[in-house]
Amino acid sequence: MEAHKACVKADIPLIADGGLQYSGDIAKAIVAGADTVMLGSLLAGCDESPGELVEVAGKKFKAYRGMGSLGAMQSRGDKKSYSKDRYMQDDVLAEDKLVPEGIEGKVAYRGPVAEMVHQLVGGLRSGMGYAGSPTISDLQQNGQLIQITSAGLQESHPHDVLHVADAPNYTGKGK
C-alpha cells in the first residue's frame, strides 16, 4: 500500500510482480493499488509459453524458468543474457558467481492461453462482485483488504475431502 502511495505521487504505474497463484490474487493486487499484474507462473503452463511439454506419472507439465533463475541468467553461446542485467549482475563474468533470485522447474500444463485468460478474467469479475465494484477503477479506489487468520485461509479453500476435482480456474496445491 505504501508503494501505491509513492507511485501515485510520482505518477508512475504500479506493477504487482510475483506471488499470484489464483485469479482472486489479481483482484487483491488491484485493491492494494496495482495498475497491472505480472502473470508469469500462471501463464507458464500454456501452449504459447516457452518450455518443453513433458509427461510425468501420466500428468502433463511444461518446463518453467523464472527470469531470475540461474538458467535464465547464464549465457547461451555468444548470446547475451538480459536477465543478468535485470537482476543487476551484468558485471558478473563467472557463471558460478551468479546469485539466482528465481527458480527452474515444471508447472502444470494448462492448454491454450485464451482459456486461461478467460478463467482469470472470470475470477477477477467474481472478486469485483464480492467487493461491489462495477469497474476496475472502482475496485482500486473503494476495494478493501481484510486480514484473515491462517485457519480462515484454510477454510476459504477446499478442505476435508478425499479428492477435489480441479476446476479450470483453481488447482489444488498438492492436497
Distance CA(26)–CA(24), nearest Å, equals: 5
Domain-wise residue ranges, the chain:
1-42+119-156, 53-108
Identify the pLDDT of residue 13: 96
Instruction: For residue 163, name the pLDDT band (cuts at 50, 70, 90).
Output: low
Distance CA(134)–CA(106), nearest Å, equals: 37
- Supply the mean pLDDT for the chain: 89
Instruction: For residue 174, name the pLDDT band (cuts at 50, 70, 90).
Output: very low
Distance CA(136)–CA(143), nearest Å, equals: 10
Q: Are strands 59-65 and 104-108 parallel, antiparallel or unpaired?
A: antiparallel
Identify the pLDDT of residue 56: 94
Mean pLDDT value across residues 121-139: 96
Residue 54: strand, helix, or coil: strand
Angstrom distances, CA of residue 107 to CA of 12, 50, 65: 32, 12, 10
Supply the pTM of this predicted model: 0.76
Mean pLDDT value across residues 36-41: 91
Rg of the chain on CA atoms, in Å: 19
Single out the residue of 92, 94, 69, 90 nearest to residue 81, CA to CA: 90
Whether residue 18 has pLDDT greater than 90: no
Whether residue 155 has pLDDT greater than 80: yes
